[in-house]
Structure 1
Amino acid sequence: MIKDERWEGVYTMEDSPYLMEVLTELRDRETDSIGFRKGLVKLGRFMGYEIIKTMEFEKRRIETPLEETDGIVVVDRRNVVIITVLRAAVPLMEGLVKVFEHARIGIVSAVRGKAPEFRVEMNYIKIPQIREEDTVIIADPMIATGSTLIEVLREVKRYGSPKRIIVLGVLAAPEGISRIKKEFPEVEIFVTKVDRELNEDGYILPGLGDAGDRTFGSPLKLSTLPQLHSFD
């Protein structure tokens, strides 16, 4: 895990050959939907391990079958809320819950419109109540313009004031990170890599294409989504 010195609280995984290999497979246009989904699950799981390195823990005295010894308990690992941004983040969430098995799960359906407005349409919101001891992890594969995540972060703030808020993604563009950090400087961002730039359509370059389409093999049709907003 490497701190990106351009921003406070932004980390990449470029020091991990394994994660860079998985990222290479995701970028490859020849990788099919099955391989793409499996790659996102792998990234979610191993990036979860990296997040644990930044969490607080307590020492614990235990007894083995032979004698007493010292161990630890990562207390923060038991106080996690994972917010899944539909739809491409579902495999990322699957990987994360293998590490944070006690996590409470929230779902947000947010779709970014076309350039140049990049308006965000939020069709479904279901977020559990957030406690002050919680670490909130917002999973969204692509941090491009930052428009979607800014709207999601605004919603998350309505449900409580957690100990930490982490945005976890596969790739990010500098423009998106800067926008998020300007409005939410306290938010931490963990990505495998920060790419070069955005194109005029708001896609990350060199990127990996549309993560949702590549994950599920078809474009999302907004007309099929329910118009729901839940606050319970």
Structure 2
Amino acid sequence: MVQQLQLPANVHVSKHPCLQSKLSQLRSASTASKDVKRLIHEISLIIGCEALAQAVVATPGPTDLTPLNFEYTTTTIQPTTISLVPILRSGLGMVEAIETILPHPVPVHHLGLFREPTTLQPVEYYNNLPNHLASDGSTSASRLAIILDPVIATGGTCAAAIQTLREWGTQRIIVLSVLGAVPGVVKAAEEWPEGVEVWLAGIDKELTDRGMLKPGLGDVGDRLFLTIGK
């Protein structure tokens, strides 16, 4: 089914069977908030491993000693400057999983975006990215920015985040998402085709007239934080 959708080349939908089973559990209205949090974490681990296997490269590092005093060459990853960019609120549920995968701590920069209810257009209300330029005029942006956005619906919010990071100066962007709708995923992927790779656990074909995925999995933020959306 996914192949027949003719998605852009920079969109990757996982075929991992365990991930698909977990996604089906997450879709259920009967899944409790505690289990929603667990499933988001576990799905993020799987999709994050798949994405980062393609996005980073292992390189030799300095030598070190084992407990038996044997010398060995350590391994580092490139690029060395990576940042996580969760989209508030729901992206927070993916942060810990990706931090677990990465071998070293990385900066976490938050972006607050919401869809205006009438137009469904993105509105930015929070942005804690560092200033674009250092005092010497060089860019201070991470070479690789990883957007954490559990659901891509209309794609407007994700596309706006991509544009913000591109203006910041990042050289490459990975978008990690649990579920997306075809129109929104295409919109996000086409925002910067040569610089963005979109990785998803699953994809739905359509949206409701309110811009929700069909069948979807509801509002992830509300399900994570036990709130009721406006």
TM-score (norm 2): 0.83
SS where residue 105 of structure 1 aligns? coil
In structure 1, C-alpha distance between the alignment counterparts of 2:142 and 2:162, rounded to whole Å: 18
The structural deviation recorded for 1:79 is 2.4
The structural deviation recorded for 1:219 is 2.9
Give RMSD over aligned pairs: 2.4
- Provide structure 2 residue ranges, at least 5 long, that are not aligned to the other structure: 132-138
* Count of matched residue pairs: 216
Whether the 8 Å contact between 2:115 and 2:123 is mirrored in structure 1 is yes
In structure 1, C-alpha distance between the alignment counterparts of 2:50 and 2:140, rounded to whole Å: 23
1:88 aligns with 90
Whether the 8 Å contact between 1:104 and 1:128 is mirrored in structure 2 is no
In structure 2, C-alpha distance between the alignment counterparts of 1:188 and 1:147, rounded to whole Å: 16
The structural deviation recorded for 1:59 is 3.7
1:174 aligned to 169, 178, 182, which one?
182
Whether the 8 Å contact between 2:144 and 2:170 is mirrored in structure 1 is no
The structural deviation recorded for 1:18 is 2.0
2:222 aligns with 213
SS where residue 110 of structure 2 aligns? strand
2:47 aligns with 47
- Taking the TM superposition and a 5 Å limit, the aligned residue runs for 1:26-41 are 26-41=26-41
In structure 2, C-alpha distance between the alignment counterparts of 1:177 and 1:151, rounded to whole Å: 13
Give the partner amino acid of 2:29: R
In structure 2, C-alpha distance between the alignment counterparts of 1:122 and 1:56, rounded to whole Å: 33
2:113 aligned to 89, 110, 120, which one?
110
**Cα deviation code 1:120-156 (max 9, x no counterpart):** 2211111136756621100011111011112212221
**Cα deviation code 1:43-69 (max 9, x no counterpart):** 222322222211222145665437566
2:12 aligns with 11
Whether the 8 Å contact between 2:162 and 2:191 is mirrored in structure 1 is no
Cα 1:66–1:17 change in 2 (3 A) is: farther
**1:99 partnered with 2:107:** no
Whether the 8 Å contact between 1:198 and 1:205 is mirrored in structure 2 is yes
Whether the 8 Å contact between 1:212 and 1:219 is mirrored in structure 2 is no
SS where residue 57 of structure 2 aligns? coil
Cα 1:161–1:90 change in 2 (3 A) is: closer
**1:74 partnered with 2:100:** no
Deviates more, 1:48-57 or 1:30-39: 48-57
**Cα deviation code 1:190-227 (max 9, x no counterpart):** 01012121121111112101111111111356xxxxxx
SS where residue 108 of structure 2 aligns? strand
Deviates more, 1:91-100 or 1:128-137: 128-137
Give the partner amino acid of 2:77: V
